[in-house]
């Protein structure tokens, strides 16, 4: 399978080296704005793919089977559309588009050209989250009552002293609701297995100045609401603080509660029973050199790639693989949060 990537950040530093570890995928072309963005771990493989600075030229010149769109969100719509028109399957980063009108149009284009679009919510395949899902499906905590996903990172000093670039600009569709909130909303829909019925939200910028730049995109958000199966939810993220708790995901049922802390410690508590820690099997990387950031994504992104390959090659659709409709429904929620 011939693969191309648009994006010199996450695309090359995370996706590219892991794609190269996937035996059935052949990375043949990448597109970045600057030649020097090729990371060190890929330098030895420069002759194995063509490096473009014009993504349209890359899609016109290369006979790609699959394109990874990992650029700034404001470009996702036009890039996915252009790829579909050239009969190329797509894996698109989050947030999928900048509004649900765009994502709805891409659904129609995907049908028209009979090409598949997959949303890059790879964290579904993190082993600890797969275990949480199995506990829910096996009725270990009974009927679901409430979903709570709270994250806080101690990034205040970093925000004060360093530039954020497009991530700090609302006009560029920056902000944490799109960057991290989209993953958290997807986790809600996936684990609860229902759609968002009602939602209220607040986005806020705690650190509007820093690193010599002015920012108006959110560095914090607070969302709550109800799902179509009556499960309530609370999702929030803080980055502009000096001390954080990390990540805490809790799912409350009428028979018990599941807690996942920082994606590596899983606890279950049942009625009239002490809290028990669920043993998580450590995921072993292959004997290959990966950067620290690529290593963090490897346990989730590699199985995600394997499911993508099976879907595109054999029409074998894994129940957890996030498709274009997941990107669209995610965008519908984000639109509502920004509107409140």
Question: In whole angstroms, what is the distance from residue 313 CA to residue 24 CA?
Answer: 10
- The verdict on 128 and 271 lying in the same domain is yes
Q: Report the predicted TM-score, pTM, of the whole model to 2 decimal places.
A: 0.95
Question: In whole angstroms, what is the distance from residue 256 CA to residue 17 CA?
Answer: 40
Question: In whole angstroms, what is the distance from residue 137 CA to residue 296 CA?
Answer: 27
Please give the radius of gyration of the chain, using alpha carbons only, rounded to the nearest integer.
Answer: 20
Look up residue 23 and give its two tokens. Answer: 């035996």
115-171 pLDDT, tens digit each = 999 999 999 999 999 999 999 999 999 999 999 999 999 999 999 999 999 999 999
Q: What is the pLDDT of residue 40?
A: 60
Question: In whole angstroms, what is the distance from residue 316 CA to residue 300 CA?
Answer: 19
259-295 pLDDT, tens digit each = 999 999 999 999 999 999 999 976 655 545 788 889 9
Interval 179-186 mean pLDDT: 98
| Peptide bond preceding 239 in cis form (omega within 30 of 0) | no
Question: In whole angstroms, what is the distance from residue 70 CA to residue 89 CA?
Answer: 14
Q: Any idea what the CATH number is for the domain that residue 56 is in?
A: 3.40.50.720
Tally of structural domains, the chain: 2
Quote the domain boundaries for residue 90: 2-120
- Whether 291 maps to a domain, the answer reads no
- The verdict on 89 and 202 lying in the same domain is no
- Residue 219 sits at the vertex; the CA angle it makes with 213 and 225, to the nearest 5 degrees, is 155
The pLDDT of residue 316 is above 70 = yes
Q: Are 7 and 70 in contact (CB under 8 A)?
A: yes
14-35 pLDDT, tens digit each = 999 999 888 899 999 999 976 5
Q: What is the pLDDT of residue 284?
A: 56
The pLDDT of residue 42 is above 80 = no
- The verdict on 92 and 33 lying in the same domain is yes
Look up residue 218 and give its two tokens. Answer: 């959110």
Residue 44 makes CB contacts below 8 A (sequence gap 6+) with: none
Question: In whole angstroms, what is the distance from residue 305 CA to residue 158 CA?
Answer: 33
Interval 52-59 mean pLDDT: 96
- The verdict on 235 and 216 lying in the same domain is yes
- Whether 323 maps to a domain, the answer reads no
- Whether 306 maps to a domain, the answer reads no
209-252 pLDDT, tens digit each = 999 999 999 999 999 999 999 999 999 999 999 999 999 999 99
- Whether 258 maps to a domain, the answer reads yes
Domain boundary among 262, 282, 302: 282
Q: CB-side exposure of 99: number of CA atoms within 13 Å?
A: 6
- The verdict on 255 and 239 lying in the same domain is yes
Question: In whole angstroms, what is the distance from residue 25 CA to residue 166 CA?
Answer: 31
Question: In whole angstroms, what is the distance from residue 251 CA to residue 149 CA?
Answer: 9
75-114 pLDDT, tens digit each = 999 999 999 999 999 999 999 999 999 999 999 999 999 9
Average confidence score pLDDT of the chain: 94
- The verdict on 41 and 76 lying in the same domain is yes
Q: CB-side exposure of 332: number of CA atoms within 13 Å?
A: 13
- The verdict on 129 and 278 lying in the same domain is yes
Interval 33-40 mean pLDDT: 63
- The verdict on 137 and 75 lying in the same domain is no
- The verdict on 153 and 257 lying in the same domain is yes
């Amino acid at each position: 399978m011939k693969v191309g990537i648009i994006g010199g950040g996450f695309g090359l530093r995370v996706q590219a080296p892991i794609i190269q570890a996937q035996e059935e995928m052949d990375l043949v072309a990448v597109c970045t704005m600057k030649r020097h963005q090729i990371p060190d771990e890929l330098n030895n493989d420069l002759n194995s793919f063509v490096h473009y600075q014009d993504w349209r030229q890359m899609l016109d010149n290369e006979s790609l089977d699959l394109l990874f769109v990992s650029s700034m969100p404001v470009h996702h719509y036009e890039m996915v559309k252009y790829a579909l028109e050239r009969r190329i399957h797509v894996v698109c980063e989050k947030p999928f588009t900048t509004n649900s009108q765009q994502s709805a149009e891409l659904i129609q284009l995907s049908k028209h050209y009979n090409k598949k679009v997959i949303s890059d919510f790879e964290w579904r395949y993190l082993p600890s989250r797969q275990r949480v899902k199995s506990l829910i499906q096996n009725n270990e905590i009974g009927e679901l009552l409430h979903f709570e996903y709270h994250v806080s990172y101690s990034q205040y000093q970093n925000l004060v002293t360093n530039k954020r670039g497009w991530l700090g600009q609302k006009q560029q569709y920056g902000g944490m609701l799109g960057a991290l909130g989209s993953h958290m909303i997807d986790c809600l829909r996936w684990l609860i297995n229902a759609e968002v019925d009602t939602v209220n939200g607040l986005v806020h910028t705690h650190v509007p100045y820093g690193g010599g730049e002015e920012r108006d995109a959110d560095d914090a958000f607070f969302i709550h609401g109800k799902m179509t199966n009556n499960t309530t939810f609370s999702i929030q993220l803080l980055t502009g603080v000096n001390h954080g708790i990390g990540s805490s995901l809790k799912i409350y049922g009428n028979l018990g509660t599941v807690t996942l802390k920082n994606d590596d410690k899983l606890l279950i508590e049942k009625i009239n029973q002490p809290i028990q820690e669920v043993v998580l099997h450590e995921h072993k990387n292959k004997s290959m050199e990966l950067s620290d950031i690529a290593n963090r994504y490897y346990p989730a992104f590699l199985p995600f790639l394997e499911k993508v390959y099976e879907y595109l090659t054999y029409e074998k659709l894994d129940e957890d693989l996030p498709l274009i409709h997941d990107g669209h429904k995610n965008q519908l929620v984000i639109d509502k949060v920004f509107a409140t």
